[in-house]
Chain A
């Protein structure tokens, strides 16, 4: 009898636990009430499937509808511009790459989130991403100090060092911690055209500008002296910047494929996913593709570490996507867009985002049990990187500075110019740009060419 009672009790307990777990799984993450449907402009980036999945969860839980307008990266900025410059925006929420946000903040095209709802605030666990969501109009700078909250980070990309744990172990090489380690390790591992020791984007434009800047930061160089305080003296042709460029060129020439001058994100991803490259520098959002057996030949073999250090410590540049609410959306739509924001930044939603393959924006997700699962073994490296990662080009001229650097760095890489000449040329052009725009600017003495 007692035996039967025990069995029945155990069954009842199991049923109760299972019911509780299921109720927990189905509970709404945050109650945001009934809202009108909203339309979101978003890029078809590698993290889009994860976002789409989370939007599905939001719709299921709240009954609110979200229409996603997915466009290629190249066309998104134009759609966003046309949308905010028209009478009424067809979008209620737009995902903007960090370097585009200044134009929208400064042009007065987006609504500060507290103007939509004065009580809105981001939870303290949400990472700051170099204050890219704030805008101080007086200082013309992205800072929470005196700035208004204009956006929140949907995806906080930062580059990591990807390496093949199995190959490094086999060769008796420890995961590189410094750029010198990278150079030494990749020299051992490279065996072209069968295998490349290290791959990074060298393609002209945003690719080389963004990737090189991590080395630049590690060497302690900057583009501009102190833009946060209005000093736009151009410092890109410093000896530290030259050292960073020489290092970048050396590693790519020594260990990369012969087409290093035209390597784009797709190429780097492909070389790593097919197992042709032993190490590489790539955004965190690419992780999911290496763990997908349909896309990767290296499932379970890829590891990550923070980008290596040089003279000034580690360096990484944040490349986050910011969600903004257009000023010319209707009030009801703006409120609905903000309701989604409230839901999206909760722990549960961010955890669900991570499980779907996204990069959560909350620190508590990184310190949760999730980070201990092998699937999420990139999380410690990411969290570590966020300690030193910084924003760059956070001023109105950012897009033009990127064009200048994107060309001159590429010319140095392919040998059209010496590294000194490339940086001197870029410095001259950037200084001219700032001068034309009335900034307080200047330049360093030219480097030997």
Chain B
């Protein structure tokens, strides 16, 4: 009985551990098993064949994966950087406003509430070459219409712009809360010492906001790696491979081509990339705290 009591805190963890194993470890283990297998269907049943090198060979021969990785990196770096910069700028600006902060916060939250599917459809209409509002505005100003989604050099940037529109409010909300929580006496002291507005932001606010910025950065980067709906609806990866992202390629391999083993391998690679980023992010967070 004594033993049971002494170790109760360990036993009490069993349900949680069981749930974790069931919901997280088992699917990942199964994904790993799939990634070293070829899965076919016959007589209405799955037929698994252990082919550890076959999917790696597919990866090596896959000519779409390289542009997909490059586009994903560009997408993540540019979109997240812009979102952090704009979100931060907005947070500092709105925090300096004397009245109406609540209203701004409410309005800003709207894009986050819109489902990505609706965002994709809405922006596809806005970007439409012949009937979209952007080109109608340009034409009204006497400017030529722009091929927003059909040009290989512009399509990825058009997609990034949609993502920025969607997620800046999220960054804004995190950083706005952090700016509001900054110690007033420190800011006042800097002002008394004659710091300009820019110096106040650069030398005082930014160092104090570092932990919140890192949190926003980590969250946004993870979500940016996983972006799918908007790109799928806007361009489906085209024209050519100009907006092909890893998630989109993964979807096509898994669901359109029905290559389950290779799709599992790509999924694991994506998970590994996100975990690697998380580790780097965690280290950055520790450094920021220090």
Chain B, interface residues (CB within 8 Å), range? 35 or more
Bound Cα distance A103, B46 (Å)? 12
Report if A361 contacts B (CB, 8 A).
Answer: no
Report if A356 contacts B (CB, 8 A).
Answer: no
> Could you tell me which residues of chain B, from 197 to 212, have a CB within 8 Å of some CB in chain A?
none
Contact A327 B258 (CB under 8 A): no
Residue in B131, B147, B238 whose beta carbon sits within 8 Å of that of A410 in the complex:
B238
Contact B256 A410 (CB under 8 A): no
Bound Cα distance A85, B39 (Å)? 13
Contact A107 B130 (CB under 8 A): no
Residue in A193, A328, A400, A425 whose beta carbon sits within 8 Å of that of B259 in the complex:
A400
Report if B257 contacts A (CB, 8 A).
Answer: yes
Interface string of B226-241 (1 = CB under 8 A from A): 0000001001111111
Report if B85 contacts A (CB, 8 A).
Answer: no
Given contacts A399-B258, A407-B64, contact A203 B238 (CB under 8 A): yes
Contact A261 B239 (CB under 8 A): yes
Contact B236 A85 (CB under 8 A): no
Interface SS of chain A: helix
Contact B152 A416 (CB under 8 A): yes
Report if B43 contacts A (CB, 8 A).
Answer: yes
Report if B111 contacts A (CB, 8 A).
Answer: no
- How many Å from the CB of B247 to the closest CB on chain A? 15
Closest B residue by C-beta to A203: B238
Bound Cα distance A257, B151 (Å)? 12
Contact A259 B255 (CB under 8 A): no
Bound Cα distance A77, B129 (Å)? 30
Report if A78 contacts B (CB, 8 A).
Answer: yes
Residue in A103, A258, A274, A399 whose beta carbon sits within 8 Å of that of B150 in the complex:
A258
Given contacts A414-B152, A416-B240, contact A107 B42 (CB under 8 A): yes
> Could you tell me which residues of chain B, from 123 to 158, have a CB within 8 Å of some CB in chain A?
128-131, 139, 145, 147, 149-152, 155
- How many Å from the CB of A51 to the closest CB on chain B? 24
Q: In the assembled complex, which residues on chain A have CB atoms less than 8 Å from the CB atom of B147?
A: 258-259
Contact A107 B150 (CB under 8 A): no
Given contacts A85-B46, A259-B150, A260-B150, contact A204 B131 (CB under 8 A): no
Report if B63 contacts A (CB, 8 A).
Answer: yes
Closest B residue by C-beta to A413: B239
Q: In the assembled complex, which residues on chain A have CB atoms less than 8 Å from the CB atom of B44?
A: 84, 107-109, 327-328
Interface string of A247-259 (1 = CB under 8 A from B): 0000000000111
Closest B residue by C-beta to A277: B130
Most-contacted residue by chain B among A262, A267, A270, A274 (CB, 10 A): A262
Q: In the assembled complex, which residues on chain B have CB atoms less than 8 Å from the CB atom of A425?
A: 63
Contact B64 A204 (CB under 8 A): no
Residue in A81, A106, A274, A414 whose beta carbon sits within 8 Å of that of B239 in the complex:
A414
Report if B41 contacts A (CB, 8 A).
Answer: yes
Closest A residue by C-beta to B46: A85
Closest B residue by C-beta to A417: B240
Report if B252 contacts A (CB, 8 A).
Answer: yes
How many chain A residues touch B (Cβ–Cβ < 8 Å)?
A: 41
Q: In the assembled complex, which residues on chain B have CB atoms less than 8 Å from the CB atom of A85?
A: 41, 46
- How many Å from the CB of B121 to the closest CB on chain A? 10
Report if B61 contacts A (CB, 8 A).
Answer: yes
> Could you tell me which residues of chain A, from 100 to 125, have a CB within 8 Å of some CB in chain B?
103, 106-109
Bound Cα distance A249, B215 (Å)? 49
> Could you tell me which residues of chain A, from 375 to 424, have a CB within 8 Å of some CB in chain B?
399-400, 403, 407, 410-411, 413-414, 416
Report if A335 contacts B (CB, 8 A).
Answer: no
Q: In the assembled complex, which residues on chain B have CB atoms less than 8 Å from the CB atom of A355?
A: none
Bound Cα distance A290, B240 (Å)? 31
Closest A residue by C-beta to B129: A259
Contact A109 B131 (CB under 8 A): no
Bound Cα distance A261, B257 (Å)? 22
Contact B149 A259 (CB under 8 A): yes
Bound Cα distance A172, B45 (Å)? 61
Bound Cα distance A70, B218 (Å)? 39
Contact B255 A262 (CB under 8 A): no
Report if A276 contacts B (CB, 8 A).
Answer: yes
Given contacts A403-B256, A407-B64, A407-B241, contact A108 B41 (CB under 8 A): yes
Q: In the assembled complex, which residues on chain B have CB atoms less than 8 Å from the CB atom of A205?
A: 236, 238
Given contacts A77-B255, A328-B44, contact A258 B237 (CB under 8 A): no
Bound Cα distance A77, B259 (Å)? 14
Bound Cα distance A260, B255 (Å)? 26
Bound Cα distance A327, B45 (Å)? 11
Interface string of A266-278 (1 = CB under 8 A from B): 0100110010100
Contact B252 A403 (CB under 8 A): yes
Residue in B236, B240, B252, B258 whose beta carbon sits within 8 Å of that of A411 in the complex:
B240
Bound Cα distance A106, B43 (Å)? 8
Since A193-B139, A257-B130, A270-B130 are in contact, a sample of 12 more A-B pairs with Cβ atoms closer than 8 Å, ordered by chain A residue number, is A108-B45, A203-B239, A204-B237, A259-B129, A263-B150, A270-B131, A274-B131, A399-B258, A410-B240, A416-B152, A425-B63, A432-B61
What residues make up the interface of B, taking CB atoms closer than 8 Å to A? 41-46, 61, 63-64, 128-131, 139, 145, 147, 149-152, 155, 232, 235-241, 252, 255-259
- Can you give 12 A-B contacts (C-beta < 8 A)? A85-B41, A108-B41, A193-B139, A203-B239, A259-B147, A261-B150, A270-B130, A276-B130, A399-B257, A410-B238, A411-B241, A425-B63
Q: Which 6 A/B pairs are nearest by Cβ-Cβ distance?
A: A259-B150, A204-B238, A107-B41, A261-B239, A262-B150, A259-B129
